[in-house]
Amino acid sequence: MSLTEKGTLLTGAVVGGVAHKTFELRLPTVRDNIDAVDEVGGHNGVALGAAILARQLVSLGTLKPEQIDFDLVAGLHPGDYNLLDAAAKELEKKRLAVAVSPAGSASASHSAAPA
């Protein structure tokens, strides 16, 4: 499944005098969560959220993927951070809708419960 959410930040990330505002966000993976905790620890929820969002960003303006990191996301205006967080929540809603739809192939046989 390759769901993404696109949007536009209000202020954006200013790099080299250019405001990068358009973004595309993908669903997070367990690896994203592990790497984010390794990077910032688990004691500060906002920092952890920013580290995960940095990993979820497929693109931000014309920045190269290696330019999109925790420091960039942590430096965003709080309103822009909230837009990214809202986009991540929308992605989760879409994932759940696909998972429970008849075409989503969700069934009891895919349960994590032991046999």
Rg over CA atoms, the chain: 16
Does residue 105 fall inside a structural domain?
A: no
Instruction: Count the neighbouring beta carbons within 10 Å of the beta carbon of residue 103.
Output: 6
**Can you tell me the mean pLDDT for 53-72?**
97
Does residue 26 fall inside a structural domain?
A: yes
Number of domains in the chain: 1
Query: Range of 25's domain?
Result: 4-97
Does residue 112 fall inside a structural domain?
A: no
Q: Which positions ≥6 away from 39 have C-beta within 8 Å? A: 51, 70
Q: For 2-115, list the strands marked E by DSSP.
A: 4-15, 18-26, 57-60
Amino acid of residue 58:
V
pLDDT digits (tens, 9 = 90+) for 64-100: 999 999 999 999 999 999 999 999 999 999 999 988 8
Structure-model confidence comparison of residues 1 and 57, the more confident one: 57
Structure-model confidence comparison of residues 49 and 98, the more confident one: 49
Does residue 110 fall inside a structural domain?
A: no
Does residue 79 fall inside a structural domain?
A: yes
Amino acid of residue 99:
A
